[in-house]
Amino acid sequence: MQPAAALKVRGLTRSFGRKRAVDTVDLTVFRGEIFGFLGPNGAGKTTLMKMVMGLIAPDSGEIELLGRKGGAASREILLRVGYLQEKPSIYPEMTARAYLSLFAGLYGIPEVQTCVARALERVGLADAADKPLAAFSRGMQQRACLARVLLHRPEFLLLDEPTLGLDPRGVVEMREILLAMRAEGVTLFFSSHQLAEMERIADRVAFMRAGRIIATGTPGELVPEGQRNVFVVELAEDAGAHKDALAALPGCRSVRVTGAHFAELTLDPDRAEDTRAARAAISRALAEKGLTMLSVRAAAPSLEDVFLALDRSGTIAEQQENHDGSRLQG
């Protein structure tokens, strides 16, 4: 049984002059998941997020957010949602504490100082609370902005490029914060160009291109079918000398030696459906043949590979999301 939807978008369209920025988009984000939003610059991701937030009116289509139609246009829903826009503004002369206190007052939050201290602690800035934002690194400034959108303890977060401009340490810190929020039941809908990072934390992803959603699914589901049953094996022995033994493994369709100790095995799809079981079966079969396996892993392409393929072709088997969030083959 699927969880309830936190966000439903149906037939959403928005044009600017002759350019259709968002074109008949259907999208579902389930409660409690991290949903990644991918696409090249100008694909329409930010425009869609702004429509969800009620900052831009759609030309047509429907938005249902947290059970209410109309997105975050109503104050009731707005107080349950946090939005971090791309390249958020700060007041560099203010301290982090003063910056958050200002916005806590605008939100009408009681016990401002307690709320501000909790938000700073949550993003790891408690020790820097009284330093001016101008003295912060780019990553610290981004965390201060994230603390601002967490002040009212939202249950749904829209984050537009939250890792933009961050160094590797900043990316890791942001990852830890987002995973902690998901563990607390917060739903996250975020866009990013950090494909490897999205692959690590997103439960599902959607690819947008020229205003349309062209594929939706888990990172694993978006791997082309023909590449899910390939495994890379590392042997202590010479792989080329034992190619025939590798080819004789149960369910092995083909073997390609890729290095002195490495080979790619293509298995029958039914034997590769459960990756963990397939790795264990390969290990047992090699041991029975007297070979020492040092490692085995699925050779699935990365999310970056999928993204580049989609951007070139515009589709992976024309995957589209239907109204309950599952994939259809068009």
Q: Which residues of the chain have pLDDT under 50?
A: 316-330
Looking at residue 302, the DSSP 8-state letter turns out to be P
What is the set of domains in the chain, with CATH numbers?
5-80+154-222+305-329 (3.40.50.300), 225-298 (3.30.70.100)
Helix axes 168-183, 138-150, angle to 10 degrees: 20
Contact 26, 11 (CB under 8 A): yes
Place of tokens 């603390």: 147
Contacts of 224 (CB under 8 A, 6+ apart): 301, 306, 309, 316, 317
CA distance between the termini of the chain: 24
Contact 86, 161 (CB under 8 A): yes
Model pTM score:
0.72
Q: How far is CA 233 from each of CA 200, 225, 230, 248, 262, rounded to the nearest angstrom? A: 23, 20, 10, 14, 6
Size of the chain, expressed as the number of residues it contains: 330
CA distance 295 to 32: 34
Would you state the pLDDT for residue 230?
86
CA distance 17 to 10: 22
Tokens of 193: 């160009």
DSSP track, 20-86: EEEEEEEEEEETT-EEEEE--TTSSHHHHHHHHTTSS--SEEEEEETTEETGGGSHHHHTTEEEE-S
Contacts of 310 (CB under 8 A, 6+ apart): 207, 209, 214, 215, 316
Looking at residue 125, the DSSP 8-state letter turns out to be -
CA distance 172 to 119: 19
Q: How many helices (H) and strands (E) in the chain?
A: 11, 16
Contacts of 312 (CB under 8 A, 6+ apart): none
Would you state the pLDDT for residue 314?
52
